[in-house]
Amino acid sequence: MEGERVVFLSIAFATHALVGYALVRGFTDADARIGLVFGLVPDGDFLFPATWGWPFVHRGLTHTPVFALTIVIVVYALRRDRSITLAVALAIGSHLAIDSLSSKGIDWVFPLAETAGPGLSVHGPVATIVLWTASIGLLVVRTDVLERSSERSDPEPRY
Ligand SMILES: [Zn+2]
């Protein structure tokens, strides 16, 4: 049973990281590794000690728009770079969007009220295949764009 949970969580983490990476690579000029890292940031709540309790539990504080907005504002304040800020917003936003569709959902209006999700199996086999296919598709399209733009920006040498 524990082994199944490790596999399930590993696939879930990989999915969040891949979706974040693909979105940042596809829609920003920032380093795509930002998407990898910030796509996983909300699940840092797995590291909270069990004794802490709400809202420091899985799908608690770190899975709220308040938390995501705070991180985005802090990143902008520190870096003053719109592309990096957009990358962070896309990565964390994708994580919250995916998790919000599960049965537990995320608390959209934290700390005012608890909200539930529609109950989709967001880390089940079908959703995982859909998310991986979309992400890899976005990476393929983006790679084509990059190759075409690098051909354009690499003119014949003039003598
Ligand atoms: Zn999560």
- pLDDT, one tens digit per residue, over 117-136 is 999 999 999 999 999 999 99
What pLDDT, in 10s, does the model give residues 85-99? 999 999 999 999 999
- Backbone phi and psi for residue 43, each to the nearest 5 degrees, phi listed first: -80, 5
Distance 101 CA to ligand 1 centre (A): 11
Distance 44 CA to ligand 1 centre (A): 8
Query: HSE-up of 18 (CA within 13 Å, CB side)?
Result: 18
- Asked if residue 45 lies in contact with residue 59, where contact means CB atoms within 8 angstroms, the answer is yes
Domain regions of the chain by residue span = 2-145
Distance 24 CA to ligand 1 centre (A): 18
pLDDT of residue 138: 95
Distance 100 CA to ligand 1 centre (A): 9
Mean pLDDT of 1-25: 94
Task: Give the residue from 13, 20, 14 showing the smallest Cα distance to 36.
Answer: 20
What pLDDT, in 10s, does the model give residues 18-73? 999 999 999 999 999 999 999 999 999 999 999 999 999 999 999 999 999 999 99
